[in-house]
Amino acid sequence: MLGGSAVHFSLAASFFTDVRVVGPVGEDFTATELAVLEDRGVITEDIERVSGEQTFFWKGHYEYDLNTAHTDETQLNVFGDFDPKLSEASSAADVLFLANIQPDLQRRVRAQCGGAGFTALDSMNLWIETARDSLWQAISEVDCVLINDAEIRQLTDQPNLARAARAVMEAGPKAVIAKQGEYGAALFTPAGFFALPGFPLEDVRDPTGAGDSFAGGFLGYLDGEDGPIDELALRRAMGFGTVLASFNVEEFGTERVARLTRDEIDSRMEALRSMTDFGSART
């Protein structure tokens, strides 16, 4: 079914700002798939259709508690020799998310968005193992890294998460987000630490895309807000990321987020706030 980092990210971010998605698809990506994005107002003019090829494909399964994913099959397909060429409008983006893909490809997109005010990337164990130097180079060129907590340990050879996050910041980024599945996400910045639990749900159907929906809520909010991207904005953005991820996992693929409303988002954001509130100071 329809999925993929760019799709989950774009849908989540579309509730907060204008989203331009860049990437290649194959002939199997039909008007039906395109409509899911366009119905949410996502601008798809930088989606490159490659004839005679198939779209990137991933198949996996989860352990019984849905916390750990195992990859059964990955087909790069159209990503095998994709050479990104951004439209003028996409190049002018102020906030840029480099979804999880080969880090040299991420760098080529980054280079075409020279004026971006806030840039972030995601990655995974595959690239840590096969393109480590490129990945560190890509990391040094962005403001924020979002990555699973086990992978941040793997990337830095550092079992302690706080030290691992610091090692990433020493390479350039001023914010590191450790994604922790159902446990939520932690934000490390030079100024401090912030963490949110995953939003508790009794019905979790499909965790696929949760991390990208998180990134979409997080960066979408930052782009949509007028104010500066300071510590408080980053924390609020973490909240919206958490909320979008929670809706994503309630149903399969893009089903839930495709029919989500901003009111539902704001209502769950308030619920999340009350779930993390322990009153004013009293000891």
Across the chain, the runs of DSSP E, i.e. the strands, are 23-25, 47-49, 57-62, 69-75, 95-98, 118-122, 144-148, 175-179, 185-189, 192-196
66 binds its own copies (CB under 8 A): yes
Give 108 or 205: the residue with its C-beta nearer to its own copies.
205
CB atoms within 10 A of CB 36: 18
Tell me, residue by residue from 252 to 271, as one string, x for binding to its own copies by CB under 8 A and - for no binding: --------------x--xx-
Give 21 or 147: the residue with its C-beta nearer to its own copies.
147
CB atoms within 10 A of CB 129: 10
- Least separation in angstroms between CB 55 and its own copies: 31
Give 83 or 157: the residue with its C-beta nearer to its own copies.
157
- Least separation in angstroms between CB 116 and its own copies: 24
Phi, psi (degrees; rounded to nearest 5) at 210: -60, -45
- Least separation in angstroms between CB 191 and its own copies: 11
Binding residues among 190-209 for its own copies as defined by CB under 8 A: 192-197, 200-204
Instruction: Give the strands of the sheet with 95-98, arranged side by side.
Output: 95-98, 118-122, 144-148, 175-179, 185-189, 192-196
Q: What's the rounded Cα separation, in Å, for the pair 77 and 240?
A: 32
CB atoms within 10 A of CB 170: 10
Give 259 or 273: the residue with its C-beta nearer to its own copies.
273
- Which range binds its own copies by CB under 8 A, 3-11, 52-60, 84-92, 188-196? 188-196
Q: What's the rounded Cα separation, in Å, for the pair 15 and 245?
A: 13
Give 30 or 283: the residue with its C-beta nearer to its own copies.
283
Binding residues among 235-254 for its own copies as defined by CB under 8 A: 235-236, 238-239
87 binds its own copies (CB under 8 A): no
Q: Which residues lie closer than 8 Å to 64 by C-beta, 6 or more apart?
A: none
| Count, residues near its own copies per rule CB under 8 A | 46
Q: Are 35 and 11 in contact (CB under 8 A)?
A: no
176 binds its own copies (CB under 8 A): no
Binding residues among 129-168 for its own copies as defined by CB under 8 A: 150, 153, 159-163, 166
Task: Provide the phi-psi class of 181: left if phi over 0, else alpha when psi is between -120 and 50, else beta.
Answer: left
- Which range binds its own copies by CB under 8 A, 2-10, 51-59, 78-86, 229-237? 229-237
92 binds its own copies (CB under 8 A): no
DSSP annotation string for 7-50? HHHHHHHTTTS--B--EEE-TT--HHHHHHHHTTT-B-TTEEE-
- Least separation in angstroms between CB 213 and its own copies: 18
Give 111 or 201: the residue with its C-beta nearer to its own copies.
201
Q: What's the rounded Cα separation, in Å, for the pair 123 and 24?
A: 18
* Contact footprint for its own copies (CB under 8 A): 64-66, 150, 153, 159-163, 166, 180, 182-184, 186, 188, 192-197, 200-204, 232, 235-236, 238-239, 266, 269-270, 273-279, 281-283
